[in-house]
Structure 1
Amino acid sequence: MVTGNTASGTFYVFNKKEQSIPVVFIHGVGLTYEIWQPQLDFFKDYSNLSYDILGHGKSPLTKQNISFDDFSEQLMELIDELKIEKIHLVGFSIGSLIGRNFATRYSDRLQSLILLGSIYKRSEQQQKIVNERFNQAKKELKLSRQALKRWFTDKYLENNPGTYEKIRSILSGNNMANFLKVYELFVTHKNDEDFEKIYCKTLVMTGENDIGSTIEMSQQLNNIIKNSELKIIKDGKHLCGIECADDVNLAIKNFVDKND
């Protein structure tokens, strides 16, 4: 296991195994690579790579105006520096939007793509709700604790106070100026990717009870992305990668193994 920083400062954790195409994990807004711990543990015998996206954790964000292209370029710089030719890319929430952008620009570097908790064409009401959340975060300079209620079931939070505290502490550790820049990208995303340019095998996956990245959105993505499959995680909410880790890990493993 190697931890390090790229020339431009991206913090990463790389578990390198010989003769293995790495599984690369991109986290969501306000979070860090640490949310992938259940996956990094499960995939310990695979090459795996996780990192902090721009403006999160230990990765800097120096630009005033940013776009999804900047995040794709961050990932390209990272895999180029580590001399990685091909990857299985797993993106969660805004990480899935980065994954979609990366796939339209650098499809030749992808062995497969997994989109977890991805949004697509929010309804007017859904857009109104995320706009309100963003405005509240701007006003209070923090992500509301209600986020955790949307991301996990009440029962899970009750039984796992350690996870609640861990995620809460990651959220409260954000540089708010950077967080708001990235959060705004997520809130204003227009679904304007050229999905025709996504050639690799793709798995679209979401939690059955995810109210922000709904089953319907995943079904639409599955219809629009060629070579894609759909997987719904039973009883899962937004952070089903943690709460329903066994089901999510198995789905990723099966998909990666058959497309390796």
Structure 2
Amino acid sequence: MTQMQDQKIVKVNGVDIAYRFDGPKDGAVLLVANSLMASGSMWDGNVPALADRYRVLRYDKRGHGGSDISAGSCTIADLADDAIGLLDALGIQKAHFMGLSIGGMIGQQLGARFPDRILSLSLCNTASEMPPRSLWEERFEIARSQGIAGLVEGTIKRWFTAPFIERAPQEIEKVRQMILGTSVDGYMACGGAVRDMAQSTMLLKIKIPTLVLSGRNDPACTVDQGIVLHRLIERSKMVILEEAAHLSNIEQPEAFNHTVRQFIDSVADAL
């Protein structure tokens, strides 16, 4: 599955953005943002653990899944503006937020720049800086010369531990198809945003309740990078999931779902 099922389209900042809701119409909204080369279908194993109470709003960032790509490059700030624009277009004043990888980078922007719109932040398998630039230039060259297919196997090895790749071939195949559904232009625009990101000082502005979640075996956004977030975000909580690499929500869904649900509930119950 490369796109979310039952998705709808809305125009945000001149771009057609795909989204879908799950959960009660009167529930507090939980806005969910995906990793690079992923669509909202990456959360299929997590939404049921949240949608009994929360109105889960999944969306595909520009150039991914069912959303269009705008011409040229973009920044993490642009992607955060898209997230706020989506809330505006759907008439949502406030939402909890959960993002993984680039989704968590978008969340950092939201927490720092739009604190009146965000009830809580769950920043999963993410970082505030992503050096070195040379790493991204190598990946972009592969994308230009071989297409997204040239990046698939290396990406899967970063996203999951070897034991999971071996024991969960159906999940891996679903992820492979999701990656292949990403356009080269969308990958390079959003990947360029990650390459150029420098958000550590921005973290000092975040005052809303924040969960930092890292995978013990994540080579892409390491535990050490998670610790930076935790130290710079006032009163944040950090949880490390064992036996999980980058897409911890897929590799360790029960632990992930329990951790995130417990955190969001604690904020929601205190409101």
TM-score (norm. length: structure 1): 0.92
2:120 corresponds, among 112, 124, 141, to 112
User: In the alignment, is the contact (CA less than 8 A) between 2:129 and 2:200 conserved in 1?
Assistant: no
Decide whether aligned partners of structure 1 residues 66 and 121 sit closer, same or farther in structure 2, where only a CA change above 3 A counts. Answer: closer
C-alpha deviation, 1:193, in angstroms:
5.2
The answer to whether the aligner puts 1:148 opposite 2:138 as a matched pair is: no
Q: Secondary structure at the match of 1:259?
A: helix
Q: How far does the alpha carbon of each residue in 1:90-125 deviate from its partner, in whole angstroms, 9 at most, with x for none?
A: 0100111111112221111111001101123456xx
The answer to whether the aligner puts 1:5 opposite 2:5 as a matched pair is: no
C-alpha deviation, 1:251, in angstroms:
0.6
Alpha-carbon separation, structure 2, partners of 1:40 and 1:53: 18
Amino acid paired to 2:47: L
User: In the alignment, is the contact (CA less than 8 A) between 1:23 and 1:48 conserved in 2?
Assistant: yes
Amino acid paired to 2:19: Y
Aligned residues between the structures: 258
Alpha-carbon separation, structure 2, partners of 1:121 and 1:48: 28
User: In the alignment, is the contact (CA less than 8 A) between 2:200 and 2:229 conserved in 1?
Assistant: no
Decide whether aligned partners of structure 1 residues 144 and 187 sit closer, same or farther in structure 2, where only a CA change above 3 A counts. Answer: farther
User: In the alignment, is the contact (CA less than 8 A) between 1:88 and 1:113 conserved in 2?
Assistant: yes
Decide whether aligned partners of structure 1 residues 193 and 10 sit closer, same or farther in structure 2, where only a CA change above 3 A counts. Answer: farther
Alpha-carbon separation, structure 2, partners of 1:189 and 1:141: 24
Aligned ranges for residues 1-260 of structure 1 at < 5 Å? Answer: 3-8=7-12, 9-45=16-52, 46-122=54-130, 128-142=134-148, 143-191=151-199, 194-260=202-268
Alpha-carbon separation, structure 1, partners of 2:152 and 2:174: 15
Q: How far does the alpha carbon of each residue in 1:45-104 deviate from its partner, in whole angstroms, 9 at most, with x for none?
A: 021110111111111122323122221121112112222221110010011111111222
Amino acid paired to 1:114: S
Could you list the runs of 5+ residues in structure 1 that have no partner in the other structure?
none
Alpha-carbon separation, structure 2, partners of 1:151 and 1:44: 25
Alpha-carbon separation, structure 2, partners of 1:187 and 1:193: 17
Alpha-carbon separation, structure 2, partners of 1:193 and 1:181: 23
User: In the alignment, is the contact (CA less than 8 A) between 2:112 and 2:203 conserved in 1?
Assistant: yes
User: In the alignment, is the contact (CA less than 8 A) between 1:103 and 1:198 conserved in 2?
Assistant: yes
Alpha-carbon separation, structure 2, partners of 1:11 and 1:83: 16
TM-score (norm. length: structure 2): 0.88
C-alpha deviation, 1:192, in angstroms:
5.3
Alpha-carbon separation, structure 1, partners of 2:211 and 2:200: 20
Alpha-carbon separation, structure 1, partners of 2:161 and 2:155: 11
The 10-residue stretch of structure 1 (126-135 or 107-116) with the greater mean CA deviation from structure 2: 126-135
Decide whether aligned partners of structure 1 residues 99 and 193 sit closer, same or farther in structure 2, where only a CA change above 3 A counts. Answer: farther
Sequence identity percentage: 26
Amino acid paired to 2:206: I
Alpha-carbon separation, structure 1, partners of 2:194 and 2:168: 28
Amino acid paired to 2:9: N
C-alpha deviation, 1:182, in angstroms:
1.1
